[in-house]
Amino acid sequence: MSTKSTDWWRGAVIYQIYPRSFADSNGDGVGDLKGITDKLDYVAALGVDGIWISPFFKSPMKDFGYDVSSHRDVDPIFGTNDDFDILLARAHELGLKVVIDLVLSHTSEEHPWFVESRKDRTNPKADWYVWADPKPDGSPPNNWFSVFGGSAWQWEPRRQQYYLHNYLVSQPDVNFHCPAAVDAVMADMEYWLQKGVDGFRFDVVNVYTHDKEMRDNPARKASDPSFDNISSNNPYTYQRHLYDKSRPENLKILNRMRALMDKYGASSVGEISDDDSINRAAEYTAGKGRLHMAYNTYMLRDKFGAALVADGIKLTEAAFTDGWPSWSFGNHDVPRVATRWGGEDPSGGFLRALLALQLALRGSVFIYQGEELGLPDVDVPYHLLRDPFGKTFWPEYKGRDGCRTPMPWIGHAEQAGFTTGQPWLPIPDEHRARAVEVQEADEGALLHAYRHMLKWRKTRPELVTGSIRLVGVEEPLIAFTRTYGSTELLVVINLGPSATTYNVTDIGALTPVTDHGLPQGKQNGNRLELGGYEVFFATLKKEK
């Protein structure tokens, strides 16, 4: 049994690194593990508790690492297994936990398992993937769609069957109803646990199992809570995904995964892709036999406002009566939050207000690389697109490349200090102006606000693990309290550019807290006066 601290993740702040775009050490234009190691001092100086590294395993890179052909080998483009060992050791020296991204629901078509499985119906791995006979007319077995467009079924002439692919055709789904396949997945997990990783981020963790009867998914109706998520661009959103994911059998898989992680003292966060992501996330983290956390996608949507945040708090608190929530405002799959919510020219004040909000919510926090610089999304021209998702749905949807462009380290340097070669995606001038080196020299820059706020949060147990109570929503203002032991902290945030006020008559006596380093409003009797994007933190003392 491991002697690791097993609850470090509760209330932690984890920094997501997309390795292709973080730092390139060898000049080939693609970030790598040595590049990450070289920049770990920068990450540690932010004040985060750990890093989550997106997939770096061997892959043909048709989905840029989320199509794995060997779960135990580092892809040569990122380095070697020894490079990972060095990265892990250095991170631990700096007090950083390391979470790695495991893609288990599917593999690359080049994975040796699938190469064997597709040969015929009688080989030792014949059942390791999801195979199904055609309908009498030769069409696919049911109406399931791929997230990336079109049918989720691909014909394999050697077996005279279809195989399931929830994503790209080149990403066949592993059959988690096959005990031998599950054993192999668990063995791959244990390989990294034995190396000493601190946890896993499980990609699309609720898509592991499927309906054995292969029943058709029903259409979404206007009365469905998630009906407003239907996109005219993608037929996948027209269905209620009752039978191709989030099946009850999935929970048994989680039980086994958790038992293995507990053996090594490791933690987990699962990405939930579901019609009802909050309640599914709560289900997947309930008790002590499932996931430690579930990656909350509620705040990754395009809409934003105090009412949306309040709904997210209420829905999450109602659902998470047992498990632990987490919050993310951005990642490698959605437009950068600075642009998504802040528009083409997001103000520094708005980005500071978002920083205060995210670090004050109850749960663990995931920050995507570059958010601390306020990087806007990039409009990558079609001829430079790399994302297969964007190429399929362009121009209505331009894919995910806009949030995946390389980190700008030195504004005046060639390729912004990311590489000495040609970067795999372009680096725009507006990113150069926000480079790390530029912000280091400016005490008023967003980077310094992140560093100060992250370190300050660690001194406030109310914000790390305290409870939350929503006390006011007056667009664009939101107010809530965080309580730990006998200390109650009031958090009021103006999410708009204009001055506003908030009445605190029914809350209690206030003692302002101002050492967070952000612009704070003023108290005028029972009224708080907040300028555009200002915050107000104060401890509360209930009047007797």
What pLDDT digit, counting tens, does each position of 163-206 carry? Answer: 999 999 999 999 999 999 999 999 999 999 999 999 999 999 99
Domain with CATH 3.20.20.80 in the chain: 13-105+178-212+246-457
pTM given for the model? 0.96
467-541: CATH class? mainly beta
> What tokens were used for 310?
């309040």
> What tokens were used for 26?
């060898």
Taking the chain (544 residues) in runs of 10, the rounded mean pLDDT of each run is: 72 98 98 98 98 98 97 98 98 98 98 98 98 98 96 98 98 98 98 98 97 96 70 86 97 98 97 91 96 90 94 96 94 97 94 98 98 97 93 91 98 97 97 98 98 98 98 96 97 98 84 97 95 97 63
Which pLDDT value is given to residue 246?
Answer: 96
Q: What is the C-alpha to C-alpha distance for residues 500 and 429, in angstroms, rounded to an integer?
A: 35
Domain with CATH 2.60.40.1180 in the chain: 467-541
Contacts of 508 (CB under 8 A, 6+ apart): 540, 541, 542, 543
Which pLDDT value is given to residue 3?
Answer: 47
Which pLDDT value is given to residue 226?
Answer: 67
> What tokens were used for 32?
């790598």
Q: Which CATH superfamily is domain 13-105+178-212+246-457 in?
A: Glycosidases (3.20.20.80)
Cβ distance 61 to 386 under 8 Å?
no
Residue 379 C-alpha from the chain's centroid:
21
263 — phi, psi (to 5°)?
A: -60, -30
Kindly list the distances between the CA atom of residue 346 and the CA atoms of 339, 415, 493, in Å, as whole numbers in the listed order: 7, 24, 17
The 10 Å Cβ neighbour count of residue 60 is 15
Strand, coil or helix: 43: helix
Give the position of tokens 């070697």.
80
> What tokens were used for 138?
């030769």
Beta bridge partners of 151: 145
Give the position of tokens 């209690």.
508
N-term to C-term CA, the chain: 50
The set of catalytic residues is: 203, 271
Which segments within 40-82 are labelled E, that is strand?
50-53, 57-58, 70-74
Amino acid identity, position 362? R
Which pLDDT value is given to residue 2?
Answer: 47
Q: Which of 128, 261, 285, 324 is nearest to 205 (CA)?
A: 285
What pLDDT digit, counting tens, does each position of 409-445 carry? Answer: 999 999 999 999 999 999 999 999 999 999 999 999 9
Q: What is the C-alpha to C-alpha distance for residues 330 and 338, in angstroms, rounded to an integer?
A: 9
Q: What is the C-alpha to C-alpha distance for residues 375 and 338, in angstroms, rounded to an integer?
A: 7
Residue 134 C-alpha from the chain's centroid:
36
Beta bridge partners of 154: 163
